[in-house]
Structure 1
Amino acid sequence: MNAPSGTMGSGEPSLNDTEDPLSMFFDFGIGSPPQDSVEALQISSARKSQDTPPRGGIRVSLACVPCRSRHVKCGAEMPNCSRCLQDDKPCFYAKSRRGMRDRNAPRKRASLREAEKGSPVQNCSSGQSINSLSYLRANSSNDSYTGPSSDGSASPESSSSRLSGKVATSKRLLDLYYSSFHKAHPFLLPRYYFHNRLQSDPESLKFLFPVMKWIGSTFSPDIPSVDLRDTAMNLMEMANLPPNGFTVQALLLAAIALHSQDDMIKSRAILDRAIYLALEIRMNSRTFANMERDPVLAESWRRTYWFMYVTDAKFAAFRNATQFMLYTVEANVELPCEECDYDGIIPRSRTLEEYENRDFLDEEPVFSSFTYLIDLTRISGSLLGFDRLPHGNVEVAVNNADAMLVNWKLHLPREKQGVVDKNEELDEILFFAQQQLQVLLVFIHRPLSRLTHCPLEEISSCARPPLPIQPTGEEDRAYWLHTKKSLEAAEAAINLYALPCPILSHSPLGICGLTFSTLASLSSCAFILTGPEWYRTRDRIRLGLGSLKAMGEVWAIARKSEKETKSIARSVFAMPKPGMATAENARSSTSNFGYGNGLPLSSSTSMMNHTPMDVGWQELSEIDYFGTWNAFSGRQQDMNGILT
């Protein structure tokens, strides 16, 4: 930025033509200086120019509020500093207390906007994103964050601009998508690369962008999403979609969104179409991504295939299928990089062969979080059909599955043991992986534990039918082990949602896993726990229900799961706690309920009167917790019939 000086002649550009955006925050004079002051200004400038170092050597005293609060160096770029852009944080500046705001700022902002419209590529290449990240609704208001106000004051103009931000503009919908959904599903281009592509080649995003806008609209209650959904679905149902990677991304996003809105039939059909198209263009080969000259776009193709792999596995688990389609497809796609590298310089891609050999190296390398999620999904593909095995083989299969899952966890590097990254922010991909690990442990151990499957669980769309295991009298030796592992895994899966981060930032693909773990905890309260453990587990169940309620603000499948789980919970907490029933009542329960092991007896009793948990909706008289499981097979056949 060059300050105005007496060298401003008639033949040189005016101040308004050459002004740096930083000048809007300082009053260097309004209009042209009087002619009688030009000479004095020239003399002053000539004297100072002899002692003044170059502009680049002057320390920038201006800093944005986030950089000041973190005590880090700020580049002071306008409207967003480079550090905030790098850290993906909102950037804004405090109002000046010196009374030096430029009264021409509105006019200058308008001219800057015109200049940006004329050169979109230059704007993106300079590191300026289209806007700062909007806060999630869980963190702030429902209005999307639209960046800093140039005048920095709460004036009527700025208030009206905030109100106008409720308009469902494409920019706001894009902000909502990237701030609320992208981190848990990071396979599209990073925001500034996507914006650059949208400016330079909008035709290539013709089918993807409407799906992104629909998903973004679901995170704001003041934006009606029905029309946006219809527009996106009309495009996805076209007969002849262009066979390219962006179409695969659009179909994959639409499938995830439809699944999360409880449209299981259409979501499965659209995911199948995405898989067929991806295989048709050979996205399962590393050659597809390596042919792309843009390294960021090549990384996006790799991420798209692998997230489709993960999504296919989650859909198969929901259907109670024995396999998922991509599990049987040969693929040599290279592995995704870390999230911080995806937003910066893409490193050399690693392969599955390198990952498989990592355990035998002296210094084990650290792979990306995405890679560990892919590996866990591969393990889950080998576990989906274990409940179809003959009874004599189930115990061996469970032990082998447990060994694979424990090995996965033991071989995680120290940096990946938790779900918080080096920047002290939640790693959504690791969160998803750790939750999936715990859910898989519940899945394999609960059938051999004392966490009996109550017949009322059949009303839950996320429940699995019990194994047809006939007790032989030899199971007691292993019951305690499987029960303990099931309880610990269910508690760990629910506790993940207690982390200090917005629940809506988590992937909706984990909703059924949360419900599945909550059902296991309900069974423990109904059948085995007493005393303090009973109350502690009831609190975990409340946490699970509360998490479903929070995610139900956006996703219909969470609202449905919350309602179903509460119906089961009402019946559980209306019963006497285990250990309070007499032996006669227990024997009567065993004969009437049809369970081989019945309610376990305990010598520890509690004199405290139990108050049923207030969970709403249905009356307790409408629920029979100890009914029969006859309806489950019919529901499962109906599901398989409509999905296949």
Structure 2
Amino acid sequence: MSMFFDFGSPAPSSTTSFDSGSAGQSRSQEPVQRGGVRVSLACVPCRSRHVKCGAETPSCSRCLQDDKPCFYAKSRRGMRDKNAPQKRASMRETGRESPRSSSVYSGGPCGIYSHAGSSNASYSRPPSDGSLSPPSSTSRLSNKGTNTARLLDLYYNFFHKAHPYLLPQYHFRNRLHSDPESLKHLLPVMQYIGSLYASEVSSTELHAAVMSQLDIPNLPPNGFTVQMLLLTAIAVHCDGELENGRAILDRAIYLALDLRMQSRAFATMERDPVLAESWRRTFWGLYISDAYFATTRRAPMFALHSIEADVEIPCEECDYDGMIPRPKTLEEYESRDFEDETPVFSSFAYLIDLVRICGSLLTLDTMPAEYLESAVANADAMLVNWKLHLPKEKQSVIDKNEEIDEILFQAHNFLQILLIHIHRPLSRLYHSPMEKISHCAPPPPDHDIASQEKDKTYWLHTKKTLEAAEAAVNLYALPCSIINHTPLGICGIVLSTLANLSACAYFLTGSEWYRTRDRIRLGLGCLKTFSEVWEVSRWNEKETKKIARTVFAMPRPGMERAGALAPPGGLKIWEPQVQVQEMTNMPIDWSMNMGPMSYEGLFNGVEQGGWYGIEGAVSSA
């Protein structure tokens, strides 16, 4: 029965930050919750350990004997509360429940976020005293007339859905009201991120307030500081400071390991089940971000991949904002395929599994050429297996409420990026010398694979790369605001767009050429949209457009044929007469005019036939 047990709010005997009821209130006086599974009376720690509970209050005899915190979940017995609609209306009137905004995504895989409000939503704002944030940021906000609550709403409406590591908005506001000191270092970075989504708010001073916190010598060593460093690392990375973002993330990882957040005990010792879930999400958020950063830098590994962790898997988003179920373990997830009926895990579980696979793929860039083909085949098998074993409910990024599941979106998008990463070096999608200017997707090291070996499988790797590049970009065409997706996916957009550019440069003809060009324009449009918020996207938009102009200025392939076998699926393959040589190292003038420009002499190291040795003046595409 325990695997169906919901960890709800603790019994009145426990003191949590969001329990506003009287400590002496009896369990029979609590509001009856809707639905649920009928369970026998037992405390949460005894249920989680599958041991008999004496059910004494306020603490059972077993917990007293083991010197463990004892608390009870709210009873879910009884019929539906007939007064529930009136109670919810009363709660909204007193500001304890925010109405759903019709203009902002507020759905989840299990239902509607009950506390997700828009920037205009009503709520009981905590008193504005100096304890809510560092004095410097508080004074600056008040001087500019900026509403702190509005910045928090922007954070939760636009950023939290793709990075759901902090407490849900309703619980965060309650803690901000009851214990502002614990959140004083976390609040400024949330305000800063929220300000990036408000064009009328200057984020310069907020950014300075966030960065000044990093110099504080005695930051409290707790989970909230880890969350502050994690959010700061993501924001700084996506603001274009890649090296600084990496350094801040490393600092967050070191602190998390020092606190032993990789251990299951760190979260299970927490009395508040919602905060315990937040700690689990924070560790896995570090794990996922570490992998994204490493993939962007083409690092051979990421630090947390080699750390043994037994942290339980986060729950679904709708449960996080409601009743926390019993956390499931990685051991349960790994044995799922042997069950008669495959259980469905949370979206987080499938993203974590994919990131674990990613950790074993990063070494391909440093692998000797003679072993690369077999290593790529093994890597492809792992990624295909991940997709084949997805349950029907997780095969699409659209949930049952016809909303985008942002965690599943990341998983499916990251799958395509990894497929491009492993297959393109063995395909006919050669890397242009101009791709070296890309911060997000520089070419991999040359493996010098014999041409006869490449010819055996070139069509397979080419087809897989193009299919993945198309799928990755098409995900952003779904009816959802692009800026709601994680900005950590910006480099994936660049990687897939450059693969499509190479296809247009080297072999696509006819209608396939035009279709791929449209996907390139879609990728550039995504970068343009992200650039309204994130500086790193502005850089990559300029770099990718510069590469695109060189491609579309060339004569289109189709006249010269190398006689190679055409791959299945109807792709027309054109092989260049001369393979591209290395481009001479030359400084990039970032202030150069992005309009019409001359490319004469730009490719000094490229012979005629390799990218057509572009001559003369080239107009902007």
Task: Please give the TM-score of this superposition, normalised by the length of structure 1.
Answer: 0.70
State the Cα distance separating 1:591 from its structure 2 match: 4.1
The whole-number CA distance in structure 1 between the counterparts of 2:600 and 2:324 is 56
Residue 372 of structure 2 corresponds to which residue in structure 1?
394
* Mapped pair 1:536 → 2:523: no
Partner of residue 594 from structure 2, selected from 612, 617, 633: 617
The whole-number CA distance in structure 2 between the counterparts of 1:627 and 1:499 is 42
Partner of residue 145 from structure 1, selected from 120, 125, 145: 120
**Which is worse superposed, 254-263 or 465-474?**
465-474
How has the CA–CA distance of structure 1 residues 423 and 592 changed in structure 2, closer, same or farther, with 3 Å as cutoff? closer
Map 1:224-263 to 2 at 5 A: 224-263=202-241
Residue 278 of structure 1 corresponds to which residue in structure 2?
256
> Any gaps of 5 or more consecutive residues in structure 2?
1-80, 105-112, 124-141, 563-572, 583-592, 607-621
Residue 426 of structure 2 corresponds to which residue in structure 1?
448
State the Cα distance separating 1:167 from its structure 2 match: 4.1
State the Cα distance separating 1:472 from its structure 2 match: 3.6
Residue 365 of structure 1 corresponds to which residue in structure 2?
343
Map 1:271-420 to 2 at 5 A: 271-420=249-398
State the Cα distance separating 1:79 from its structure 2 match: 4.2
How has the CA–CA distance of structure 1 residues 413 and 59 changed in structure 2, closer, same or farther, with 3 Å as cutoff? closer
How has the CA–CA distance of structure 1 residues 197 and 388 changed in structure 2, closer, same or farther, with 3 Å as cutoff? same
How many pairs align?
Answer: 478
Q: Alignment partner of 1:516: what SS?
A: helix
How has the CA–CA distance of structure 1 residues 390 and 592 changed in structure 2, closer, same or farther, with 3 Å as cutoff? closer
How has the CA–CA distance of structure 1 residues 231 and 398 changed in structure 2, closer, same or farther, with 3 Å as cutoff? same
Partner of residue 502 from structure 2, selected from 523, 527, 530: 523
* Mapped pair 1:567 → 2:546: yes
Residue 526 of structure 2 corresponds to which residue in structure 1?
547
Q: Residues 5-33 of structure 1: CA distance to partner in whole angstroms, max 9, x if unpaired?
A: xxxxxxxxxxxxxxxxxxxxxxxxxxxxx
* Mapped pair 1:426 → 2:404: yes
Q: Is contact 1:456–1:624 with CA below 8 Å preserved after alignment?
A: no
Residue 113 of structure 1 corresponds to which residue in structure 2?
none
State the Cα distance separating 1:469 from its structure 2 match: 1.9
- Runs ≥4 in structure 1, deviation > 6 angstroms? 56-60, 80-84, 586-589
Q: Is contact 2:98–2:117 with CA below 8 Å preserved after alignment?
A: no
Q: Residues 471-495 of structure 1: CA distance to partner in whole angstroms, max 9, x if unpaired?
A: 2423212111110000000000000
State the Cα distance separating 1:592 from its structure 2 match: 7.5
Q: Is contact 2:168–2:321 with CA below 8 Å preserved after alignment?
A: yes
Q: Alignment partner of 2:452: what SS?
A: coil
Q: Residues 575-594 of structure 1: CA distance to partner in whole angstroms, max 9, x if unpaired?
A: 111113588xx999744834
Q: Residues 613-632 of structure 1: CA distance to partner in whole angstroms, max 9, x if unpaired?
A: xxx81434248786659xxx
The whole-number CA distance in structure 1 between the counterparts of 2:575 and 2:289 is 45
Q: Residues 392-432 of structure 1: CA distance to partner in whole angstroms, max 9, x if unpaired?
A: 10000000000000000011110000001121110111111
Map 1:180-259 to 2 at 5 A: 180-259=158-237
> Any gaps of 5 or more consecutive residues in structure 1?
1-55, 63-73, 92-126, 135-143, 149-163, 596-615, 630-644
Residue 608 of structure 1 corresponds to which residue in structure 2?
none
Q: Is contact 1:369–1:416 with CA below 8 Å preserved after alignment?
A: yes
Partner of residue 504 from structure 1, selected from 476, 483, 507: 483
Q: Alignment partner of 2:288: what SS?
A: helix
Q: Is contact 2:92–2:98 with CA below 8 Å preserved after alignment?
A: no
RMSD: 2.9
Q: Is contact 1:376–1:433 with CA below 8 Å preserved after alignment?
A: yes
Q: Is contact 2:159–2:486 with CA below 8 Å preserved after alignment?
A: yes
How has the CA–CA distance of structure 1 residues 77 and 556 changed in structure 2, closer, same or farther, with 3 Å as cutoff? same
State the Cα distance separating 1:75 from its structure 2 match: 5.4
Residue 459 of structure 2 corresponds to which residue in structure 1?
480
Percentage of matched positions with identical amino acids: 59
Which of the pair has the greater relative contact order for Cα pairs under 8 Å at 6+ separation? 2
Q: Alignment partner of 1:184: what SS?
A: coil
The whole-number CA distance in structure 1 between the counterparts of 2:121 and 2:203 is 20
The whole-number CA distance in structure 2 between the counterparts of 1:223 and 1:553 is 13
State the Cα distance separating 1:87 from its structure 2 match: 6.4
Given residue 617 of structure 1, which amino acid in structure 2 is its aligned partner? M
Q: Residues 122-164 of structure 1: CA distance to partner in whole angstroms, max 9, x if unpaired?
A: xxxxx995xx623xxxxxxxxx43459xxxxxxxxxxxxxxx9
Q: Alignment partner of 1:500: what SS?
A: coil
Q: Is contact 1:568–1:625 with CA below 8 Å preserved after alignment?
A: no
Task: Please give the TM-score of this superposition, normalised by the length of structure 2.
Answer: 0.73
Q: Is contact 2:221–2:259 with CA below 8 Å preserved after alignment?
A: yes
Q: Alignment partner of 1:272: what SS?
A: helix
The whole-number CA distance in structure 2 between the counterparts of 1:411 and 1:483 is 25
Given residue 482 of structure 1, which amino acid in structure 2 is its aligned partner? H
The whole-number CA distance in structure 1 between the counterparts of 2:168 and 2:310 is 24
Given residue 260 of structure 1, which amino acid in structure 2 is its aligned partner? C
